[in-house]
Structure 1
Amino acid sequence: MSKRFFDPLVEKDAEILRELAENDSNVLSDAEDSSEGEEDAVENQLESSDTEQEISSEDDEEVEEPVVNTILGKDKITRWKLQMPVQNVRTRSHNIVSHSPGVKGAARNARSVLACWSAFFDDDMLNLIISNSNKYISSKKDSYSRERDCKITNLSEIKAFIGLLYMAGFHRNSRLNTADLWAIDNSGIELFRIIMSRNRFHFIMQNVRLDDKETRNERKICGKLAPIRDLFKIFVEKCQQNYSVGEYVKVDEMLPPFRGKSLFRQYIPSKPSKYGIKILALIDSKMFYTANLEIYVGCNLKDLTNLTIVLYLW
């Protein structure tokens, strides 16, 4: 009896188990189908992304990105970097600054205006002017009736003469008539009358010479600066002896105004003073000190020899 009572229950439980097994198999098959579909979708997405990357890479090749930290040159092709590239090399020995910039030599002891001026125009330079001037004055003695009218000069008188020239420039009277400077009606400058007479000033102005006139023609073969070459060379040497430039130097040009007679006078309309003597100079960019200079006398290779040496050495 008990066996008959439990048989239907066992059969019903078996049917329920079979139905559950069938449902689980259906769910697994659906999950497998969905996973296969997702894998196909992922593969399609990857393929599409690869093609998009290829297209984007092609677009990037066609469109050039702007270069950072550069500027375009005037030719619209060359690009200049705003910063110096890093160089993993040792600094060359000739580019190493082993000295400190500043005043050096005897100029370090200069404490007055006259001492500073004498560091560039010492007595040796002035004696060179005196000897050449006296030699020229002696050759003209026969044209004067009185000996006192052609008296030779000396060191103190040359210094006084140069001082009067500085004084005329200081008062902005360089273009004023000397009769007005030596006027005795209180309209002139008393210092001029005290130092020397107006006639003596004119005599020195007419007869001062910076070189030996007898050998000038021989020296003119080497260049047009023969009348001042010796004195100019000494002055440049003084500029180099009294100051040591730093690591920042440049070659620049200047045009001191000059409207006198000269074969190498230049006309540059863009300059404040359109007429003058063109000078190429090596200048300290920080202290604005002129360490070397050369006067431009035209396209003559003999006259530009010293300038070429300057540019090569510096």
Structure 2
Amino acid sequence: MSDSADDSEDTNSDYISFVDSDSSDEEEDDIPVVQPLQPLEPCWSSVLESSETPPFLCEVGPSHSLGPADNEKQFFELIFDEKCVNTLTDGTNKYARETQERKGHDPVWYDCTTEEMRAYLGLLIIMGINKLPDYKLHWSKNKFLANSGFIEVMPVRRYEKLTQYLHCDSEDTDDPLCKVRPIMNLVSENILKSYKPRQHQTIDEGMIAYKGRHKAKQYIPSKPTRWGLKVWLRCDSISGFCHQLDIYLGRDQYSRGISVGQEVVLKLTESLEGKNFHVFYDSFFTSIALARSLLEKRIFSCGTIMRNRKGFPSDLKNLPRMNQGEYVTRQDGKLSATVWMDSRPVAILSTTASTVEMSANACRRLKDGTEISVPRPQSVGHYQAFFRGVDIFDQLRSKYSVGRPSKKWWKYVLHFLINTAIINTFLIMKESVNLPKKKYRQLDYRLALAKLLIGTFRTPPKTAARRQLSENSTTHKLIRLSCKRSYCKNCAKAVPKKRKDTSFGCGLCEVHLCGKQCFALFHNIEE
């Protein structure tokens, strides 16, 4: 073994290097070949020593200049700001122009504005609160279903056109998330700026509901949403505030050297390094290598672990049956492995807890209804107290969620980003100002936000839209209209009167005409 290896043992390093044994036969000037560093196995001990984590000294909580006089819309713009709305508006207008260049002029469409895009988002929020089986029912003539506010803001045809051309994609076609990358980057940057994370953070997977076709679509039977796109989340362990997200697009996006779970945690904790944060995750992510890697970066971790994982104490893998509340712990420096008996054995790997201290007892109810107090070690207590962050976020996300069914996968991701912005700004507002009423719910926040986003916007009269359209189209031309089939207006005036449905008509007049003869006759009549 080389001198470097001896030095590493003396300094209690986690790595050891091996030198080619034939190197001594070579010339003195030759440099020995060093093999890749191999991780040392942990030295588990049954002798437990007290270990404390250093104090957490970072500033936490909302980071903005808004006060009691500011409303829900201003808080929402902390994350979904003017740049996001402009990106949606410009992308929608651009996509509408490109589509018309490919498929022909759309006589119904005219460019949208930022005010109209905000109103459109406001209607989406209302649809998430007042769910109907078909979006058209919001504009229904049935007084028991119709929403007079929807009818007043914009006609259903305009809503359909905005939904049809809604876009925000980037020019980087090599990016699998190019359809939503601009909005995702803006929202992620604003989240990091608007809230300083607390000490306890949770990392787990969430699901964006989607049953269409996509190479990254996942099936997770243990989740409430079984089919969809998987997204990695880092959330506050107490409030559920989402600090960071990363959409899973398949195994190919990760390196082959380490596990997916380890790489995900390292990526989501890059901004937490050197600040004594505590991170909690489940057995999918937990490994000895990950705990050590985080500890080197002054990030303390805690998570359940499968007992067959490499490096886990061998004497804890096949323990005899224990009574409820009993546990066995092994320690290697700040790293501890514990098997605690609840209704079944629970294995915990932790660097956040002391091995000699206990948490408050857990209460358990027996089959006959009596309650018992079950002792639990500190690592189990920490995990049970701080692992629910992502679950809390998912619970908030499941209520009044924005979005209608679509064939486009990226629209589900866009709706997820809008929901994330709403939930985060709702939590920021709750912590920042005196709320309008004592019990201020997410429902109250969404209703107020939708009303403020819509504001005084009303779709301009049809004549104004046609006037804007005529600036681009100055000649009468027989084309396939993008609107629904209707009867030929010239045939309807003929004697005897007849009806003939068609998809063609004059693009300038927006009138259905069944052919060249009717087209010529109709315009001669008009002149």
Instruction: Return closer, same or farther for 1:101/1:127 CA change in 2, 3 Å cut-off.
Output: same
1:136 maps to what in 2?
95
Tell me the secondary structure at the aligned position of residue 269 of structure 1.
coil
In structure 2, how many angstroms separate the alpha carbons of the residues matched to 1:291 and 1:138? 36
Alignment of 1:220-259 (within 5 A): 220=175, 224-259=176-211
CA contact (8 A) 1:281 1:292 kept: yes
Report how far residue 262 of structure 1 moved.
3.2
Q: How does 1:288-303 map to 2 (within 5 A)?
A: 288-301=240-253
The Cα offsets for residues 36-58 of structure 1, whole Å up to 9 and x where unpaired, read as: xxxxxxxxxxxxxxxxxxxxxxx
RMSD: 2.9
Distance apart, 1:137 and its partner CA: 1.2
SS at match of 1:169: helix
% of aligned pairs identical? 19
Q: Which letter maps to 1:188?
A: A
Name the structure 1 match of 2:229: 277
| Aligned twin of 1:198 | 156
Partner Cα separation in structure 1 for residue 267 and residue 217 of structure 2: 23
Amino acid of the residue matched to residue 137 of structure 1? A
> How many angstroms apart in 1 are the aligned matches of 2:208 and 2:98?
33
| Higher normalized strand content (fraction of residues) | 2
Whether the aligned pair in 1 keeps the contact of 2:232 and 2:264 (CA below 8 Å) is: no
**What per-residue deviation string (whole Å, max 9, x for no partner) do you get for residues 97-117 of structure 1?**
333321112456784222221
| Equivalence map 1:135-174=2 (5 Å) | 135-142=94-101, 143=103, 147=107, 149-173=108-132
Tell me the amino acid that sits aligned with residue 116 of structure 1: F
**Does the 8 Å contact 1:110/1:116 carry over to 2?**
no
**Structure 1 portions without partners, runs of 5+:** 1-77
Structure 2 SS opposite 1:231 = helix
Specify whether residues 275 and 182 from structure 1 end up closer, same or farther in structure 2 by C-alpha distance, changes over 3 A only.
Answer: same
Using CA pairs below 8 Å that are at least 6 residues apart, which structure has the higher relative contact order?
Answer: 2
**Structure 2 equivalent of residue 86 of structure 1:** 50
Contact 1:107 1:242 in 2 (8 A): no
Offset of residue 138 of structure 1: 1.5
1:57-106 deviation digits (Å, cap 9, x = unpaired): xxxxxxxxxxxxxxxxxxxxx8999xx94238x94xxxx53333211124
The 1:234/1:308 distance shift into structure 2, 3 A limit, reads farther
Cα deviation for residue 250 of structure 1 reads 2.0
Question: SS of 2:233's equivalent?
Answer: strand
Relative to structure 1, the CA distance from residue 189 to residue 312 in structure 2 (aligned partners, 3 Å threshold; closer, same or farther) is same
Pairing partner for 2:142 from 168, 173, 185? 185
Cα distance 1:201–1:85, how it changes in 2: closer, same or farther (>3 A)? farther
Match of 1:120 in 2: 79
The 1:153–1:306 alpha-carbon spacing in structure 2 relative to 1, beyond 3 Å, is farther
Separation in structure 1 between the aligned mates of residue 183 and residue 80 of structure 2, nearest angstrom: 10
The residue number in structure 1 matching 2:502 is none
TM-score normalised according to structure 2 size: 0.38
Q: Which runs of 5+ in 2 are unaligned?
A: 1-43, 273-527
Q: Which structure carries more helix by proportion? A: 1
Q: Is the 8 A contact 2:63 2:196 kept in 1?
A: yes
1:226 match: secondary structure: coil
- Is this contact kept in 1: 2:139–2:146, CA < 8 A? yes
Partner letter of residue 189 of structure 1? N
